[in-house]
Amino acid sequence: MTAYLHARDLACERDGRLLFEQLEVRLQVGEMLQVCGPNGSGKTSLLRVLAGLMTPTAGQVLLDGQPVQGQRAALHRHLLWLGHAAGIKDMLSAEENLAWLSALHTAATPGAIDQALRTVGLRGFEDVPSHTLSAGQQRRVALARLYLPGPPLWVLDEPFTALDKQGVAQLEEHLAKHCQRGGMVLLTTHHRLMRTPAGYRELELGAGTP
């Protein structure tokens, strides 16, 4: 089944301020959509609306041509959400965090978790409580989820925050490969991507408003 996301006439209002309206978003298999725009232009709100965390002020979100309201369970099975706060527990180690997140979403074996942590460069930090890790390392724990078996549609809010150069390059490469394998990526970031897959597009938010 191909999870295919389509939003029509989307509008979002926060605290009496209109962030965007009449917005059309399409995401097909193999595509990557980068949402750009100045701070406060509604990038995170758009992602939250598309992930089903927020209801839009107007418009609707379709998954595979059907309104998403009736098929929340299908959306949740096909979606990996990585928010600004990435859901990493301070008191748990990197390994426990991943075990917990994979139990919550898609089951993964301890071997796969170990492998994912090595891939993101956290070898030797598996057993350390997360609050002792640096911000970049904590981000890497969250990103290790992308190296586990999981859903095809990735919605990532500022995934490059606090990563070093090598980490950024590795993540860009991984996102592009995911799209080539038939996945979908929807992300916000301010930095220009060096490595983009064939189905790469940009969506500029807040260009028209002062």
* Binding of residue 73 to other proteins (CB under 8 A): yes
Does the footprint of other proteins cover residue 81 (CB under 8 A)? Answer: yes
The 17-27 sheet, strands edge to edge: 17-27, 5-14, 58-63, 66-67
195 lies in the site for other proteins, by CB under 8 A: no
The binding track of 97-116 with respect to other proteins, each residue x by CB under 8 A or -, is --xxx-xxx-x---------
Choose which of 54, 62, 128, 168 interacts with other proteins (CB under 8 A). 54
Size of the site for other proteins (CB under 8 A): 29
Which SS3 state, helix, strand or coil, does residue 80 take?
A: strand
Among 36, 57, 87, 112, the residue binding other proteins under the rule CB under 8 A is 87
Is the CB of 56 or the CB of 197 nearer to other proteins?
56
Using CB under 8 A as the binding rule, whether residue 1 contacts other proteins is answered as no
Q: Does 17 engage in binding with other proteins (CB under 8 A)?
A: no
**Is residue 36 within the footprint of other proteins (CB under 8 A)?**
no
Span interacting with other proteins, options 46-54, 115-123, 158-166, 194-202, rule CB under 8 A: 46-54
Q: What are the φ/ψ torsions at residue 19 (nearest 5 degrees)? A: -85, -45
Q: For residues 79 and 175, which CB has a smaller minimum distance to other proteins in the complex?
A: 79
Are residues 146 and 185 in contact, defined by beta-carbon separation less than 8 angstroms?
A: no
Angle of CA points 180, 9, 209, to nearest 5°: 95
Q: Tell me how far apart the terminal alpha carbons of the chain are, to the nearest angstrom.
A: 42
Q: Which stretch binds other proteins (CB under 8 A): 30-38, 52-60, 171-179, 195-203?
A: 52-60
**Residue in 193, 167, 194, 180 with CA at minimum distance from that of residue 31:** 180
Q: Alpha-carbon distance 125 to 203, whole Å?
A: 37
| CB of residue 146 to other proteins, shortest distance in Å | 14
Quick check: 86 binds other proteins (CB under 8 A)? yes
Q: Which residue reads 């938010």 in tokens? A: 205
Give Cβ neighbours of residue 187 (< 8 Å, ≥ 6 apart). 32, 33, 34, 35, 154, 155, 156, 157, 158, 159, 175
Q: Does 84 bind other proteins (CB under 8 A)?
A: yes
Binding site for other proteins (CB under 8 A): 48, 51-55, 73, 76-77, 79, 81, 83-92, 96, 99-101, 103-105, 107
